[in-house]
A and B are shown apart, each in its own frame.
Chain A
Amino acid sequence: MTAPAPARAPSRVRIALPWSVRLERRLETPRWLPAMTTVGAVVVALLISGVVLALAGGEPIPAFVHIVRASFGSLGVISDTLVKATPLILTGLACALAFRMRLWNIGAEGQFLMGAWGASAVVLIPIVPAGTPSIITIPLMMAAGMLAGGAYGAIPGILKAVRGVNEIIVTLMLNYVAALWIAYWVFGPWSEGGFQLTAQFPREAWLPRLSDFADAIPAFSGLTVHFGFVIALVAAVLVRFLLVRSRLGYEIRLIGDSPRAARYAGIDVARTIVIVFALSGALAGLAGMSEVSGVVHRLQLAISPGYGFTAIIVAYIAKLNPYGVVVASIAFGALILAGREIQPSGIPAMIQGILLFSLIASEVVLRYRVRVTRRVA
């Protein structure tokens, strides 16, 4: 046998190491890989965060323990975490639904605000007379929130469907319009004695909380988690059903993969764009309703610390899977909550950032294969 010909040196990296590392484009992606890379990315993010913490003079392990304790340590904080997760789940679903069709709705924040406004209008205009029982008020508020958010979401949808206007720019700008719209109402017509907030809603307009049942079940006392969380979970199930088991879901997937094939299949792509944008807006609007009715109990300027933007990250991390959105939202809810407890409060924000980066980086692993080869001498 003749001596093996020397392997062709890799084209670029030529460092005299016994190993060479290269990236190869993957043509086949194993089924288990996406889930594994997500888990791996989270682990890596925690490791990096730990190192950064240690370099900053902190003690990583106790810090992590503290974060976990601050967000999952007791029934009370778990409840608080779920309260934070609720608007994230709904806005995350809004993004995931639109992103499935490659509609880049980054206006969940604005649709959230409009939903909050619509729900508030039910009690503040008022549409129902004072003293109307919850069983009527709450569903009306939900409907109004979804309607307002949905209509607001339909605007970029219609512009894109009819005129081909780029939805990213429109949705982004509409976020500012919505914020100003809220400001107008809380400074003006609905202002409570000149303050930048409205009067508190009557009790009938509050989503029930666990603590409301403390009389019957004492363990529930002080638990702020409200019915909005159940609504969010139901929404996740419905969105998942919509995507995999409905005709509209099939159309969404088909358009998302190939608009030309969708047209060929007889799908009215323009109409579907408007519908999906409206649905996406309605989900975000429902989040706004749940927040004013379940947490704040009034409309005010600062009702969202950017849920609609965090939702984009949540949807992305969840790989647009509705159940993944629930899990990712709870994780982010925990980080938001821990941010209030931990000093310096930037730590959870940093972890959030590192998490995002490592998840984005993990995409490389999905698309490429990292190959470590022993160099033949």
Chain B
Amino acid sequence: MADDIAAPGPPLAVAMRGIVKRFPGVVANDGVDFDLRVGEVHALLGENGAGKSTLMNVLGGLYRPDAGEVAVFGERVDFHSPRDAIAAGLGMVHQHFALVPTQTVTENVLIGLDRPRFRIDLARFDDEIADLARRHGLALDPRARIWQLSVGEQQRVEILKFLYRGARVLILDEPTAVLAPQEADDLFRTLRSMVADGASVVFISHKLAEVSRIADRVTVMRRGRVTAAGIPSAGTTPEGLALLMVGREVLETIERTPFRPGPVVLSVRAVEATGDRGVPALRGVSLDIRSGEILGVAGVAGNGQSELAQIVTGLRPTTAGSVTVNGDDVTNRPPREVIRRHVAHVPEDRTGVGSAPDLSIADNLIMKSYHDAPIARRWAIDTGAVRRFAIGLKERFDIAAPSVDIDARLLSGGNLQRLILAREITSDPSLMVAVQPTRGLDVGAIATVHRLLLAQRESGSATLLISEDLDEVLGLSDRVAVMYEGRIVGIFDAVEADVAAIGLLMTGGSAPSLAEPGSPAELVS
């Protein structure tokens, strides 16, 4: 019996007992116990779909458990909404932020509070909020508008919102998935400073290496159950954690066949483009990718990588230069023209661009193939063929969902990424543009995706791989291009690449050995 839930003694910040949460066709949480001590950082690990987000949504007041009890600081609670959870001192930062883009940082922090009574007083709060941010090492301009901020900065605003409301427990769902390594370090410093002030933090992550760095204890979930409860992170290794997560050894050995480049598939010449904020994002980028080659792009987020992927796939106009695919000029051609030339695209923004949240899994899987047989019969869509196609992909790519008819928004983060990968890889691409393809995936799934990308390479397609994970880029690519401020500042043979030199280039330093920055790719290799 869960007697101890409201027991006296040194109170736990959070105690969850026997939490059960069912969804149609799945038991997302199957009797989960979870403890968060005051003043600790507690990492929550588990495979995609293990039930981590669900458990934290129960804690954050978004879901009501079907069974089980929750106590916060020794007091039993029964949250009906996130508002209740906030009132009890709990703040949850989701992967998708709930900020108002046109308003300032201060306005967003104050949203939903009674203060200030009048807008006119707003300026007074700027200082207060800037102060709070500084105390916790959150670099932010309170007057900046949200749309001007990077993802990392927006995340800081979310955290600031809860700090301002005096949250004593902060829940972060995969906070580092969208952060550059540097930003992740800043976040960890902030979390440490909060914990030093007596706050407690739950932290969901798939990055095992960072878990032992930042977390005091670790809880591992698998298929809705806890497989390791609150073990001290000091003694853990990434391999050991992976074993607990998937129940078997995960060996990520990237085996690459020798590089046998074929003809040039993608050729980008002196391309310039403007970014979302109206400033130049690409300033004369040139590169070639050959059949059977993976070109990795390394760089700190926001240096033009996203825009590079967009100009190749026709989603962003270029202001100068040219893009050709298999010899066809596709510069500023509509996306459909590019897709028809067998260009697949795993986009960075999986909920906004890569999927339609309120359409079914099946509808999402046919996004790139609904034009052609067997899905389409002239202007009609063969619903039977759609189902067969979708069920086939769901099984082949191990997408965890009760059926292909449920809405895509109900998929766990990692399973949605699998859906997108399944769709793009099966489109039999001659060029694959993969942006952060393993973001949010568990270790097992990452290994699978890496294998799939390498299989693509072997079957002769060209791959433009954009990733903030330098290890991933170096491990998979034949050549590595480094981007900085909209330019390619260096291209290396991945085998001989000097990590230190790349790191320097990524942050704007110069590598002495480099002859001609920004020169076309074929100079190397």
**A266–B342 alpha-carbon span in the complex (Å):** 12
Given A25-B81, A267-B336, A254 contacting B367 (CB threshold 8 A):
yes
A248 contacts chain B at the CB level, 8 A cutoff = yes
List 22 contacting pairs A-B, 8 Å CB cutoff, sorted by A. A2-B3, A7-B78, A8-B75, A8-B84, A8-B87, A8-B88, A10-B80, A10-B84, A27-B63, A245-B380, A254-B363, A257-B356, A257-B357, A257-B359, A258-B352, A258-B356, A263-B315, A263-B335, A264-B367, A266-B340, A266-B371, A371-B80
- Whether A266 lies near B357 (C-beta < 8 A) is no
**A24–B79 alpha-carbon span in the complex (Å):** 10
- Whether A247 lies near B335 (C-beta < 8 A) is no
A250 contacts chain B at the CB level, 8 A cutoff = yes
A214 contacts chain B at the CB level, 8 A cutoff = no
Given A254-B367, A261-B353, A7 contacting B76 (CB threshold 8 A):
yes
- Whether A260 lies near B376 (C-beta < 8 A) is no
With a cutoff of 8 Å between Cβ atoms, the chain B residues found around residue A245 in the complex are 380-381, 383
- Whether A268 lies near B78 (C-beta < 8 A) is no
With a cutoff of 8 Å between Cβ atoms, the chain A residues found around residue B75 in the complex are 5, 8
- Whether B315 lies near A1 (C-beta < 8 A) is no
Residues of B within 8 A of A (CB): 1, 3, 6-8, 23-24, 62-64, 71, 74-78, 80-81, 83-84, 87-88, 313, 315, 334-336, 338-340, 345, 347, 349, 352-359, 363, 366-368, 370-371, 376, 379-381, 383
**A173–B6 alpha-carbon span in the complex (Å):** 64
With a cutoff of 8 Å between Cβ atoms, the chain B residues found around residue A266 in the complex are 334-336, 338-340, 368, 371
- Whether B367 lies near A22 (C-beta < 8 A) is no
**A244–B359 alpha-carbon span in the complex (Å):** 12
With a cutoff of 8 Å between Cβ atoms, the chain B residues found around residue A264 in the complex are 313, 315, 335, 345, 347, 353-354, 367
With a cutoff of 8 Å between Cβ atoms, the chain A residues found around residue B363 in the complex are 250, 253-254
A215 contacts chain B at the CB level, 8 A cutoff = no
A343 contacts chain B at the CB level, 8 A cutoff = no
With a cutoff of 8 Å between Cβ atoms, the chain A residues found around residue B6 in the complex are 2, 4-5
**A22–B24 alpha-carbon span in the complex (Å):** 24
With a cutoff of 8 Å between Cβ atoms, the chain B residues found around residue A262 in the complex are 356
The 3 closest A-B pairs by CB, nearest first: A266-B336, A257-B356, A265-B367
User: 9 other contacts beyond A8-B87, A258-B355, A260-B353, with CB at 8 A cut-off?
Assistant: A2-B6, A8-B84, A22-B80, A246-B379, A247-B381, A250-B366, A263-B335, A264-B313, A268-B336
**A371–B78 alpha-carbon span in the complex (Å):** 13
- A 2-14 to B, binary, CB cutoff 8 A, 1 in contact else 0: 1011011011000
**A231–B23 alpha-carbon span in the complex (Å):** 43
Given A254-B356, A257-B359, A266-B335, A8 contacting B78 (CB threshold 8 A):
yes
CB of B413 to closest CB in A, whole Å: 16
CB of B20 to closest CB in A, whole Å: 15
Q: Which of B76, B336, B347, B356 contacts A5 (CB 8 A)?
A: B76
- Whether B383 lies near A11 (C-beta < 8 A) is no
Q: Tell me whether chain A's interface is mostly helix, strand or loop, or mixed.
A: mixed
**A266–B343 alpha-carbon span in the complex (Å):** 11
With a cutoff of 8 Å between Cβ atoms, the chain A residues found around residue B81 in the complex are 24-25
**A257–B407 alpha-carbon span in the complex (Å):** 11
- Whether B381 lies near A246 (C-beta < 8 A) is yes
With a cutoff of 8 Å between Cβ atoms, the chain B residues found around residue A244 in the complex are 383
CB of A10 to closest CB in B, whole Å: 7
**A263–B337 alpha-carbon span in the complex (Å):** 12
- Whether A247 lies near B339 (C-beta < 8 A) is no
- Whether A261 lies near B355 (C-beta < 8 A) is yes
| Cβ-closest chain B residue relative to A31 | B24
- Whether B334 lies near A246 (C-beta < 8 A) is no
With a cutoff of 8 Å between Cβ atoms, the chain A residues found around residue B63 in the complex are 27
**A352–B339 alpha-carbon span in the complex (Å):** 49
**A9–B74 alpha-carbon span in the complex (Å):** 16
CB of B91 to closest CB in A, whole Å: 16
**A22–B84 alpha-carbon span in the complex (Å):** 12
With a cutoff of 8 Å between Cβ atoms, the chain B residues found around residue A267 in the complex are 336
With a cutoff of 8 Å between Cβ atoms, the chain B residues found around residue A24 in the complex are 64, 80-81
**A27–B359 alpha-carbon span in the complex (Å):** 16
With a cutoff of 8 Å between Cβ atoms, the chain A residues found around residue B23 in the complex are 28
Interface residues of A in 1-46 (CB under 8 A from B): 1-2, 4-5, 7-8, 10-11, 22, 24-25, 27-28
**A262–B334 alpha-carbon span in the complex (Å):** 12
**A244–B362 alpha-carbon span in the complex (Å):** 13
- Whether A257 lies near B1 (C-beta < 8 A) is no
| Cβ-closest chain B residue relative to A20 | B80
With a cutoff of 8 Å between Cβ atoms, the chain A residues found around residue B336 in the complex are 266-268
With a cutoff of 8 Å between Cβ atoms, the chain A residues found around residue B8 in the complex are 2
- Whether B368 lies near A11 (C-beta < 8 A) is no
**A300–B444 alpha-carbon span in the complex (Å):** 72
- A 227-266 to B, binary, CB cutoff 8 A, 1 in contact else 0: 0000000000000000011111110011001101111111
CB of B173 to closest CB in A, whole Å: 15
| Cβ-closest chain B residue relative to A7 | B78
**A54–B378 alpha-carbon span in the complex (Å):** 59
With a cutoff of 8 Å between Cβ atoms, the chain A residues found around residue B347 in the complex are 264
With a cutoff of 8 Å between Cβ atoms, the chain A residues found around residue B74 in the complex are 5
- Whether A247 lies near B83 (C-beta < 8 A) is no
Q: Which of B84, B339, B352 contacts A261 (CB 8 A)?
A: B352
| Cβ-closest chain A residue relative to B82 | A25
- Whether B76 lies near A4 (C-beta < 8 A) is yes
- A 316-328 to B, binary, CB cutoff 8 A, 1 in contact else 0: 0000000000000
With a cutoff of 8 Å between Cβ atoms, the chain B residues found around residue A263 in the complex are 315, 335
- Whether A8 lies near B77 (C-beta < 8 A) is yes
- Whether B335 lies near A258 (C-beta < 8 A) is no
**A267–B353 alpha-carbon span in the complex (Å):** 13
CB of B366 to closest CB in A, whole Å: 8
- Whether A257 lies near B358 (C-beta < 8 A) is yes
| Cβ-closest chain B residue relative to A257 | B356
- Whether B356 lies near A247 (C-beta < 8 A) is no
With a cutoff of 8 Å between Cβ atoms, the chain A residues found around residue B349 in the complex are 260
With a cutoff of 8 Å between Cβ atoms, the chain B residues found around residue A253 in the complex are 356, 359, 363
CB of A26 to closest CB in B, whole Å: 11
CB of B330 to closest CB in A, whole Å: 12
With a cutoff of 8 Å between Cβ atoms, the chain A residues found around residue B83 in the complex are 11
**A2–B5 alpha-carbon span in the complex (Å):** 9
**A254–B313 alpha-carbon span in the complex (Å):** 19
